[in-house]
Amino acid sequence: MTIHVHVLGTAQDGGFPHAGCACAHCEHARENPLLRRKVSCIAVVGETGKCLVVDATPDFATQLADLAKASGRETVGLEALILTHAHIGHYLGLAMLGKEAMSAQGVPVHCTASMRRFLEQNRPWSHLIDRDEIRIEPLGPGEMLSFDGAEIHPFLTPHRGEDTDTIGVEIRGPSRTLIYVSDADVFPPALAARIEDADVALIDGTFYARDELPHREILEVRHPFVTESVERFANARGDVYFIHLNHTNALLSPEPPALPDGFRVAREGDAFAL
Ligand SMILES: [Zn+2]
Ligand SMILES: [Zn+2]
Ligand SMILES: [Zn+2]
């Protein structure tokens, strides 16, 4: 079986529509469920059908079911998780592995040392560890995780680190490489080079343009702008997909702006053979 990466969600941490927001984009998505988006998440389905999910989002329950359908497996489950960082869109779903829901047994959770400390030192996450529902497996930048025929290489990304650092992942199959960077304040040269070299790049497209939020807010929550990334990565070798879209993003409007050739907006259901 070929290794596949499936896209299970494409919105920023707060999902789409956003809680408590009555902006035109959110209202439109409330009226039309087809426009709704789950929080950014991808899954790797390996050569024997094992599943690894990158990030446990607030939409975890639905995304596991979506994954079961996409991967053709009969039971809804997973063999491993990677957590990229401790912002709410990326780890809250972990709670579903606890005894109130799945009562998981020793699911390996791969994360950096700072993410591990965060989980060990805060409830309810520490309960999951104490009850052996999850088992923390250290995975630092520069290390490599072999998973069912795929090689997964994590790397640090510059991102607001109130509680933990943040990683992105490069996933290598026998023939192609995919890079996933949901959150980065900026794309420094080394990260830009990875994006340009990948066969498929799923990159931070939180904000479309600089004027999307009031100036003060956009300085506090930094992300590269789609309008700038399309220029910067015009010579990327593979296809570039924007993911982790904020509800304010023009790409979520009823009439979204067109993107240049080679650039797309990631969709739930996208699948890439590696
Ligand atoms: Zn995020
Ligand atoms: Zn909104
Ligand atoms: Zn974040």
Mean pLDDT of the 28-36 span: 95
- R_g of the chain, CA atoms, integer Å: 18
Ligand 1 center–CA 235 separation, angstroms: 26
pLDDT at site 252: 96
Residue 74 pLDDT > 90: no
**DSSP per-residue codes, 142-208:** T--EEETTEEEEEEE-----SSS--EEEEEE-SS-EEEEE---SS--HHHHHHHHH-SEEEEE-SBS
pLDDT at site 223: 87
Query: For 180-213, how does the pLDDT look when each residue is reduced to its tens digit (9 = 90+)?
Result: 999 999 999 999 999 999 999 999 999 999 888 8
**How far is residue 11 from each of residues 27, 103, 127, measured CA to CA in Å?**
16, 27, 28
Task: List, in order of start, the domains of the chain with CATH numbers.
Answer: 4-267 (3.60.15.10)
Query: For 134-166, how does the pLDDT look when each residue is reduced to its tens digit (9 = 90+)?
Result: 999 999 999 999 999 999 999 999 999 999 999
pLDDT at site 76: 77
Identify the band that residue 242 occupies on the pLDDT scale cut at 50, 70 and 90.
Answer: very high
Closest ligand to the CA of 19: 2
Ligand 3 center–CA 89 separation, angstroms: 8
Ligand 1 center–CA 225 separation, angstroms: 15
Ligand 1 center–CA 1 separation, angstroms: 31
pLDDT at site 215: 72
Query: For 80-95, how does the pLDDT look when each residue is reduced to its tens digit (9 = 90+)?
Result: 999 999 999 999 999 9
Mean pLDDT of the 112-121 span: 98
Closest ligand to the CA of 249: 2
Q: What angle do CA 202, 135, 80 make, to 5 degrees?
A: 35
d(CA 247, CA 227): 16
- pTM to 2 decimals? 0.96
Ligand 1 center–CA 138 separation, angstroms: 21
Ligand 1 center–CA 89 separation, angstroms: 6
Residue 1 pLDDT > 80: no
Burial of 137 (C-beta count, 10 Å sphere; 0-12/13-18/19+) = middle
* DSSP-assigned beta bridge partners for residue 42: 7, 54
Closest ligand to the CA of 167: 3
Q: Residue 223 corresponds to which amino acid?
A: H
**Are the beta carbons of 63 and 57 closer than 8 angstroms?**
yes
**DSSP per-residue codes, 44-108:** EE-TTS-EEEE---TTHHHHHHHHHHHHT-SS---SEEE---SSHHHHGGGGGGSTTTT---SEE
Closest ligand to the CA of 21: 2
pLDDT at site 39: 98
Query: For 244-270, how does the pLDDT look when each residue is reduced to its tens digit (9 = 90+)?
Result: 999 999 999 989 999 999 999 999 999
Write down the mean pLDDT value for the chain.
96
Ligand 1 center–CA 150 separation, angstroms: 24
Query: For 161-171, how does the pLDDT look when each residue is reduced to its tens digit (9 = 90+)?
Result: 999 999 999 99
CB-based neighbours (< 5 A) of ligand 1, an ion = 13, 87, 89, 183
Mean pLDDT of the 6-22 span: 97
